[in-house]
C-alpha cells in the first residue's frame, strides 16, 4: 500500500510538471487578470466572451472548474480561459518560521549570506561540513550539513511552537510523501524531501535535497541522522 501511494504521488507530480503554459498578455474575456488567495480559499472567475475551456498551468497549486479557482498549495500559477490568462498567487496562512536555503547547487557562501542575520554557533563536536545558526532571540536553530561541496540536508529546531502549527505550515507548502508517514512531504518540483518530528516539546523539521537523476534519498535513515544532530537541552 505504501509503495502504491508513493508511486501514485510521483506520477501526479510528474504530470503536473509537464503541464502546458497558458500565460497570455490578453484578458479580454476574463473579469480578472490577477488574483491573490490564501490556501483553501476559492474564487469565482467569469468569462464573458462566449464558451471557454478552463485550465490551470499548475493544478497542484490552484485548480479550476467552471471558473471556480481553488487554492491548494503556496505558489504561483496561471488559470486560463481559452486564450486569456489570470495570474493566481496563493499565499500561506502560516508564516511560522523561515525555511532554510535548499538546493543541490547551494554553496557554503550562499548559506552564510542567507543566514547573515543569525548567529553562527561554534562547531563543538567537530563535525566536518556542519554549520549551525541560532536566531537573535535564541528561539530557532538552523543546521546545514554538507558532504564536501554538496548540501545534503538542513534542519530547523523550533522549541517554542506547537507541533500542530508546524504541521499546518508544511501541509500548505508541500505534498504528502507517504500515507503511512504523516510527517513526510515532498516539494512540487521533487527537489526537496521534508520530514517533521515532535518530541518532548522539541519540533524538528528536516529538509533533504534530492539530486536530479539519483532517485529519492532513504527517508528513515536521513531522519535518524538529523535526530543525532539535535543539541542536548
- pTM for the model: 0.82
pLDDT over 70 at 70, yes or no: yes
Phi, psi of 91 (to 5 degrees): -100, 155
Of 11-15, 58-62, 123-127, 131-135, which range is least confident? 11-15
pLDDT at position 200, please? Answer: 73
Q: Dihedral, CA atoms, 143, 146, 152, 157, nearest 10 degrees?
A: -10
Residues 60 and 145 in one domain: no
Tally the domains of the chain: 2
Confirm if 45 and 81 have CB atoms less than 8 A apart. Answer: yes
- Judge whether 160 lies within some domain: yes
Phi, psi of 24 (to 5 degrees): -130, 160
Q: Strand 150-158 vs strand 34-38: parallel, antiparallel, or unpaired?
A: unpaired
Q: How far apart are CA 173 and CA 158, in angstroms?
A: 18
Residue 69 structural domain: 2-91
User: pLDDT grade, residue 227 (50/70/90)?
Assistant: low
Residues 62 and 132 in one domain: no
75: left (phi over 0), alpha (psi -120 to 50) or beta: left
Q: How far apart are CA 141 and CA 98, in angstroms?
A: 11
Residues 121 and 213 in one domain: yes
- Judge whether 185 lies within some domain: yes
Q: How far apart are CA 110 and CA 100, in angstroms?
A: 11
Amino acid at each position: 500500500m505504501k509503495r502504491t501511494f508513493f508511486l501514485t504521488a510521483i506520477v501526479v507530480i510528474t504530470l503536473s510538471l509537464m503541464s502546458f503554459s497558458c500565460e497570455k498578455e490578453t484578458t479580454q474575456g476574463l473579469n480578472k487578470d490577477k488574483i491573490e488567495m490564501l490556501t483553501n480559499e476559492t474564487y469565482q472567475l467569469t468569462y464573458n466572451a462566449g464558451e471557454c475551456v478552463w485550465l490551470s498551468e499548475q493544478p497542484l497549486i490552484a485548480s479550476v472548474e467552471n471558473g471556480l479557482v481553488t487554492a491548494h498549495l503556496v505558489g504561483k500559477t496561471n488559470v486560463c480561459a481559452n486564450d486569456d490568462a489570470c495570474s493566481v498567487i496563493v499565499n500561506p496562512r502560516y508564516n511560522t518560521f523561515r525555511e532554510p536555503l535548499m538546493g543541490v547547487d547551494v554553496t557554503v557562501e550562499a548559506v552564510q549570506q542567507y543566514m547573515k542575520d543569525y548567529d553562527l554557533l561554534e562547531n563543538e563536536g567537530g563535525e566536518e561540513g556542519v554549520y549551525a545558526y541560532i536566531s537573535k532571540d535564541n528561539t530557532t536553530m538552523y543546521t546545514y550539513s554538507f558532504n564536501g561541496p554538496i548540501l545534503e540536508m538542513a534542519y530547523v529546531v523550533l522549541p517554542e511552537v506547537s507541533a500542530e502549527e508546524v504541521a499546518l505550515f508544511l501541509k500548505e507548502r508541500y505534498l504528502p510523501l507517504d500515507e503511512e508517514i504523516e510527517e513526510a512531504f515532498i516539494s512540487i518540483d521533487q527537489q526537496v524531501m521534508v520530514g517533521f518530528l515532535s518530541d518532548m516539546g522539541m519540533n524538528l523539521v528536516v529538509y533533504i535535497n534530492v539530486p536530479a537523476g539519483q532517485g529519492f534519498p532513504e527517508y528513515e535513515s536521513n531522519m535518524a541522522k538529523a535526530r543525532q544532530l539535535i543539541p542536548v537541552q
